[in-house]
Every structure is written in structure tokens, then in C-alpha cells.
């Protein structure tokens, strides 16, 4: 089959490899019809995630058609159209019983901290991902969700990670009616976090980024105020000026370890790797939120340490919440929001790119070229079952 193949930092290519097979009676094989490149895939692409091995196939946002099932799979059958949450989980351990699917105790037993994620390095279990024609889905009775007939493929693929993660970012902010919410990062997750903040009752939403085209997009999509941090001297001071010197009620980190905005953080975190990526946005969140406010973190950081101003967090009485999204918990509610017209996930898709051109797709997304917001990859056989795509790289 054709699959994305990681060759080292900033080097990926489309390459043929063996088809996945049923390895356990609980497995399913899915023929992929859509996969996304996530902003967190760029952390892998940039060499920021430990134990990312040559030959690994990325891709934790994908949907497809069930091609084969193991003998113990009872809830799915060949031909079912399914979306697959990015978390791999057993559904029965202590954490899964609490719907903390990103913290499953069994899917990645070699790690004490990190759960298991498709296509996200051996730190996250070593499972190949869905930027391929086929993918093996373990414990298939637990996570995959049949896609309702009235849900478009382009909406469904964004329900596998980006939208639930943005939604959970707002949920973890514990937003109260009328709150001012600041979202750092205008990528897909930040865009969905801003949109979701209104659903939780925010009275004011401000999004911070450095790219004008992204800020223009989120201003229109999420009806929010925007700030370009390159035009601001001190980020925390600027947010305080905008909020009558109190600070924001809620700050959301939707950026993670690849953040720009601080030379010291970039050198120590991204270049010298003396900490688990740049903690720039963590500093901004802690210093911009008001005393007693809430900080929600969904941006990805490595499993080692970051230097953060924990003393400021303590003395301000801040509540900090963070986790990988429990995708399956959120999907039913988000489908209701899509059907009600409250949110249109597919509107953020700017590029549909054949899997054969995956190297170009990563370059475009990583370099922020062509006003790219969200690229999706279309495997060759997907053309047989989905609407035709006429342009190799198309902007909507």
C-alpha cells in the first residue's frame, strides 16, 4: 500500500510498504478515505518528539471504510463507514472507565505517562497512523464510531481530533457566563477552541497568533478579536491592558512546544532541546490570566520538563488543567452542534492533497504557505468512493 514514510526531521515521502494485517482477534483493518495533517504532526516532522523512528507512518486523524475484522470484533462489519478517535484505548481500565481515554493504562504499557496515539512515535505506542491507504485499528470494538449518514466525510475527519481537542480546551477552562477567554494559537485547534468558547458562554474571545492570514480567518470564523503578538511588546501586559488590568478569566494554550515569540525559549527549547520544547505560551498563559483564573493546556509538550513560572501560578491562585482530548466522550455532543448549525468543521479545510504528494503537503503546512489552515490527504483508492478532486493542491 502507499503510505507516508518518515525519513528524519523535515523529510517525509510517500512510499509503498506492506499492507497491515489482523494481528489480534480484536483488530480491524480500515481503508482510509480521509486523513489530516495535524499541527501536532509538525512537532514530529520538526524532530521535537522523542523516539520518532525512521519508517514510521504518521496520521492520527483519519476516517475510512472497514475492510476486514478479527474474529472477536462484534460491533463493526465490513463496509461500515467509521471515524477513529486519535486515542487508542481499551475501554475497561481504571482510566477508561472514567472516560479518560487519552490516559488508558493498557494501550501503551511501556510508558507511565503517555497514552497511545496512532502514528505518533514509539513514545506514544509505536502504532502506524492513517496517512496511508490502510491502517490497523486495535481493540476495534471500543473506539471507532460509525459515521451517521447525514455527516459529511470532511466533518467526520475533523471529529477525530482537532474539533474535540478545541472543544475540550474550552471545557477545561471552566468558562462562566460573560468570561473573557484568550486563545493562544490560531491553528485548527485554536480556531475550534475560540468557536467552542462561545458555546460555553464566553462574553469575549481574543485569539493571539503571529500570522495575519490565520488571524483574519479566525476573526471571521469565530467572531473574535485578534492580536498579532509580533506587534506587541509584552504579551501579558498587553492582555492586561485589554482587560482593565485584571487579566483574562481563562487562557488556553493551543500551541505547544513549537511556539515562537521568545528567543530564549526558542534557543533552549527548540534548538538546544534543553527542555521539552519552547514554553513561551505557558509563560504567556500564566502571566496573562487574572488571579484565580483558569489556564487550559492542549498544546503538545514532550514527556520531559519545561521551565515555567510555577511561582506566579501559585501566588495568583491559578487553576491549571490539561490533557489529551477524550475524543469519544465529545463526539455525540459535537455531532449535535454540527446538525444544529452551531459549528461547521469542514469550513477550515483549505487544501485537499493526494497522498502521493504528502511531502509537499507537509512543506506547505509547516512553512505556512498558500494561506494554509488545514490540509487533508486523499489516498488513491479513496477517489473511488468519495467525490472527485480535480486539483492536486486546491484552495477553497
The pTM assigned to this predicted structure is 0.93
Over the stretch 54-104, which tens digit does the pLDDT of each residue have? 999 999 999 999 999 999 999 999 999 999 999 999 999 999 999 999 999
Decide: 329 and 165 in contact? Cβ < 8 Å.
no
How high is the pLDDT of residue 395? Answer: 35
Q: Does position 351 have pLDDT exceeding 50, yes or no? A: yes
User: Cα–Cα distance between 295 and 172 in angstroms, integer?
Assistant: 8
Over the stretch 302-346, which tens digit does the pLDDT of each residue have? 777 888 999 999 999 999 999 999 999 999 999 999 999 999 999
Among 298, 292, 80, residue whose Cα is nearest residue 172? 298
The pair phi, psi for residue 329, each rounded to 5°, is: -65, -35
Beta carbons within 8 Å of 332's beta carbon, 6+ residues apart? none
- Name the grid cell of 261: 515569540
30 beta partners = 66, 135
Amino acid at each position: 500500500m502507499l503510505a507516508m514514510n518518515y525519513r528524519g526531521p523535515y523529510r517525509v515521502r510517500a512510499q509503498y510498504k506492506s499492507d497491515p494485517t489482523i494481528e489480534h482477534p480484536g483488530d480491524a483493518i480500515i481503508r482510509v478515505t480521509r486523513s489530516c495533517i495535524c499541527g501536532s504532526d509538525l512537532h514530529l516532522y520538526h524532530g521535537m518528539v522523542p523516539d520518532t523512528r525512521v519508517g514510521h507512518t504518521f496520521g492520527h486523524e483519519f476516517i475510512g471504510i472497514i475492510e476486514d475484522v478479527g474474529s472477536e470484533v462484534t460491533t463493526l462489519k465490513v463496509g461500515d463507514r467509521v471515524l477513529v478517535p486519535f486515542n487508542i484505548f481499551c475501554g475497561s481500565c481504571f482510566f477508561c472507565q472514567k472516560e479518560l481515554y487519552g490516559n488508558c493504562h493498557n494501550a501503551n504499557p511501556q510508558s507511565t505517562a503517555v497514552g497511545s496515539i496512532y502514528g505518533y512515535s514509539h513514545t506514544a505506542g509505536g502504532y502506524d497512523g492513517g496517512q496511508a491507504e490502510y491502517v490497523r485499528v486495535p481493540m476495534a470494538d471500543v473506539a471507532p464510531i460509525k459515521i451517521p449518514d447525514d455527516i459529511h466525510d470532511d466533518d467526520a475527519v475533523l471529529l477525530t481530533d482537532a474539533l474535540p481537542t478545541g472543544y475540550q480546551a474550552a471545557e477545561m477552562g471552566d468558562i462562566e457566563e460573560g468570561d473573557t477567554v484568550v486563545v493562544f494559537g490560531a491553528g485548527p485547534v485554536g480556531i475550534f477552541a475560540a468557536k467552542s468558547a462561545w458555546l460555553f458562554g464566553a462574553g469575549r474571545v481574543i485569539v493571539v497568533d503571529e500570522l495575519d492570514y490565520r488571524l483574519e480567518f479566525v476573526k471571521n470564523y469565530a467572531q473574535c478579536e485578534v492580536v498579532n503578538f509580533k506587534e506587541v511588546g509584552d504579551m501579558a501586559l498587553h492582555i492586561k491592558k485589554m482587560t482593565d488590568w485584571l487579566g483574562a478569566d481563562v487562557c488556553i494554550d493551543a500551541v505547544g512546544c513549537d511556539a515562537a515569540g521568545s528567543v530564549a525559549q526558542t534557543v533552549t527549547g527548540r534548538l538546544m532541546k534543553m527542555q521539552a520544547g519552547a514554553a513561551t505560551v505557558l509563560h504567556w498563559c500564566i502571566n496573562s490570566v487574572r488571579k484565580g483564573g483558569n489556564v487550559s493546556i492542549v498544546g503538545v509538550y514532550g514527556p520531559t520538563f519545561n521551565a515555567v513560572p510555577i511561582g506566579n501560578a501559585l501566588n495568583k491562585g491559578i487553576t491549571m488543567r490539561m490533557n489529551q482530548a477524550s475524543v469519544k466522550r465529545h463526539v455525540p455532543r459535537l455531532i449535535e452542534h454540527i446538525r444544529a448549525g452551531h459549528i461547521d468543521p469542514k469550513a477550515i479545510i483549505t487544501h485537499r492533497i493526494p497522498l502521493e504528494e504528502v511531502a509537499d503537503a507537509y512543506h506547505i503546512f509547516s512553512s505556512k504557505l498558500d494561506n494554509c489552515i488545514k490540509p487533508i490527504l486523499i489516498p488513491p483508492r479513496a477517489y473511488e468512493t468519495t467525490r472527485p478532486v480535480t486539483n492536486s493542491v486546491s484552495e477553497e
